[in-house]
Amino acid sequence: MILHVPPGSPALVQGAAATILALHIGGGVAGILSGATALLARKGGRLHRTSGQVFFVSMLIMSGIGASVSPFLPQWSNVVPGLFTFYLVAPAWMTVRRPEGRVGRFEIGALVFAWSAAATGVLLGMLADRSPGGLLNGDPPMNFFVFASFPALAGALDLRVILRRGVSGAQRIARHLWRMSFALFVGAGSLFLGQPRVFPPWLRGSPIMFAPEIAILGLMIFWLLRVRLGKAFRTEAAVA
């Protein structure tokens, strides 16, 4: 995300743009570092809890700014991923703080938010399809439809949780784990693949740039299998 301020703009406007950009970049970097720490740390330990809290706040700042500012740049392709990342982190955080087998207004609000993000993606895809050349700021309709499918699916999983009156045990931990991990995956992709200009020229386009994303997905799958198949995570004692 790059904020272009016209030359001669008031100092207040320039300062606001610089602050927003710093918060977005700082939140993203802090989120990736703290998220990686939480993913690697012993689950339920102090380091895991502390890094998880930093990740929660950092990713909300990063994704919230990204989704809010992107329409004004305009970078429409970043809107739905930003909304989706913001959505992922909030219910993941609430999952481990909500008592077992309970749901409330927060879960209903999260469902509405997720499906609203999906509807936004569909709308943007339709606009791209109807625009001259079939592109919206250089992106084809299919890109927006693919982005929309993720919050649509996650919202459907939320609906399932609501109808079941909450989750417990290993399912509860798995719900927290995959949402936090996937938010970290999106954040890492946005940095390493979406902002190649911040890296040395020799790294741009290198397969190394895919390594963090692959590592995150691998660790997420490892922990999901361990949570779902292992006995240690079937008790709430292991929940952070």
Per-residue pLDDT of 125-169, as tens digits, reads 999 999 888 889 888 999 999 999 999 999 999 999 999 888 888
Examine residue 175 and state whether it is found in any structural domain, yes or no: yes
Examine residue 161 and state whether it is found in any structural domain, yes or no: yes
Number of domain units in the chain: 1
Examine residue 150 and state whether it is found in any structural domain, yes or no: yes
Could you give the CA distance from residue 169 to residue 172 in angstroms, rounded to a whole number?
Answer: 5
- What are φ and ψ of residue 139, in 5° steps? -105, 135
pLDDT higher than threshold 50 for residue 240: no
- What are φ and ψ of residue 10, in 5° steps? -55, 150
Examine residue 193 and state whether it is found in any structural domain, yes or no: yes
Examine residue 146 and state whether it is found in any structural domain, yes or no: yes
List, in order, residues 6 or more apart from 180 with CB less than 8 Å away. Answer: 35, 38, 39, 52, 55, 88, 89, 92
pLDDT higher than threshold 50 for residue 85: yes
- In this structure, how many other beta carbons lie within 10 angstroms of the beta carbon of residue 157? 15
Examine residue 104 and state whether it is found in any structural domain, yes or no: yes
Examine residue 1 and state whether it is found in any structural domain, yes or no: no
Could you give the CA distance from residue 23 to residue 12 in angstroms, rounded to a whole number?
Answer: 16
- Averaged over 16-28, what is the pLDDT? 79
Write out the residue range of the structural domain in which residue 138 sits. 72-238
Examine residue 169 and state whether it is found in any structural domain, yes or no: yes
pTM comes to: 0.83
Query: Using 50, 70 and 90 to split pLDDT, how confident is the model at 234?
Result: low
Could you give the CA distance from residue 61 to residue 20 in angstroms, rounded to a whole number?
Answer: 10
Chain Cα centroid distance, residue 17: 23
